[in-house]
Amino acid sequence: MKPIQKILFGSPGTGKSYQIREIARDKLGIPLDDTTHTVKTVFHPEYTYADFMGKLLPLTQGNSVIYKFYPGHFIRILGMAYQGLIDGKKDHYLLVIDELNRGNAAAIFGTVFQLLDRESDGWSSYEVDISEMELVGLLEAMRLKPIIQDGTIEIKEGKTKIPCEDFCQRRKEELATNNSAGSRVFSILQQRRINIPHNLSILATINTSDESIYYLDSAFKRRWDWEYVKAPIRDASIPEELRDVKLIIDGDEKGAWSQYIVGINELIKSNHQVIRRIEDKQIGWWFIKPEDDKVDLDQVKDKLMFYLWDSVFARDKRPIEEFLSNPNAVKLTAYSDFLDLMQEFMRRVGDLGKK
């Protein structure tokens, strides 16, 4: 089984995270929300290389302060994957990065960026050096017991301590005959280097409508496979979980919520001349999450109406005015004007979704 290195992109609420869980289960054999084979993180503007690889933080012990290295998300999953190979397992491991473009991905990955190039056997084409502390964190993630003494990394085995290079050499030789992948891991670590093994996949999501994002350069992009997750339109297959969900207004069921989603997207599509990048502005099935098979008007007001006002039709409110103007002319000066017509707007959107 080849590793997967893919970015899923699309409009908000299209189910990108749900699709990642399906890929993990169906293609990698990793059960839903399995924490022994999966590490998840979310990039954001304050997320750094240190969060990704690891950082040294002070720890109070009694009256003294010591410094401890805490492995980052990448080092943790890499350690799991390495240990899986050493143990001779056929398991796959997965790093999930949500909102990849909300952080400075190039700076966060740092030299690890080079490891995204893979050979046909699934291993990275290159190896990169890591710091002494990153190596210690990686060894800990592999459930070993490294210590630093007089500037030398040693591995604790019972009451004995073995220099890391000697330990790696011994384990490399022990595994060489029956476990070439495990032997390869120790050969790499012996040089204080890392690469991504064939049993480690990386899946990421991008919310293309988000305005507060970092640019992904072409060199970064080409190292990934890309999959577009479409927004719902007419004749789209409705997810099983949404088929019984209704829009509730004043305690009354007003119709299938799915038809309102489709109606919103049809309205957006019909105004492609005034909306930039309509693929990014449409909404997905999960833009609003139902509760007990219901979506009430407060949820619509707090999330959907504001999104349409502030993001989709931010530059020009005339399409909404025209949509609401028959038979009487409508002028929307403030957001409160739009909210006053919310029920009528949703009624018309629902009709549009039925056609």
pLDDT in tens, 252-300: 888 899 999 999 999 999 998 888 888 788 999 989 999 999 999 999 9
**Angle in degrees, CA 337, 340, 342, rounded to 5:** 110
- The residues spanned by each domain of the chain are 5-229, 240-354
How far is 100 from 316, CA to CA, in rounded Å? 30
Please return the burial class of 52, using the count of CB atoms within 10 Å of its CB with bins 0-12, 13-18 and 19+.
buried
Please return the burial class of 36, using the count of CB atoms within 10 Å of its CB with bins 0-12, 13-18 and 19+.
exposed
> What are the tokens at 277?
């990048």
> What are the tokens at 321?
């005015």
3-class secondary structure for 10-50?
A: ECCCCCHHHHHHHHHHHHCCCCCCCCCCEEEEECCCCCCHH
5-229 CATH fold: Rossmann fold (3.40.50)
Query: pLDDT per residue over 194-239, tens digit each?
Result: 999 999 999 999 977 666 578 888 999 999 999 998 887 776 678 8
Written as tens digits, the pLDDT of the chain (355 aa) is 899 999 999 888 888 988 999 999 999 999 867 788 999 999 999 999 999 999 988 888 778 888 888 999 999 999 999 999 999 999 999 999 999 999 999 999 999 999 999 999 999 999 999 999 999 999 999 999 999 887 789 999 988 999 999 999 999 999 999 999 999 999 999 999 999 999 999 999 997 766 657 888 899 999 999 999 888 777 667 888 888 999 998 888 888 999 999 999 999 999 988 888 887 889 999 899 999 999 999 999 989 999 999 989 998 999 999 999 988 888 999 999 999 999 999 999 999 988 6
In the chain, where do the E strands start and end? Answer: 5-10, 38-42, 54-61, 64-71, 93-98, 128-129, 146-149, 152-157, 160-163, 193-194, 200-207, 225-229, 246-249, 252-256, 294-296
The residue behind tokens 């990386």 is 202
Angle between helices 180-190 and 164-175 (to 10 degrees): 160
For residue 99, give the 3-state DSSP assignment: coil
> What are the tokens at 333?
């000066």
| Bond prior to 71 in cis (omega within 30° of 0) | no
Give the residue among 75, 193, 83 at the shortest CA–CA distance from 144.
Answer: 83
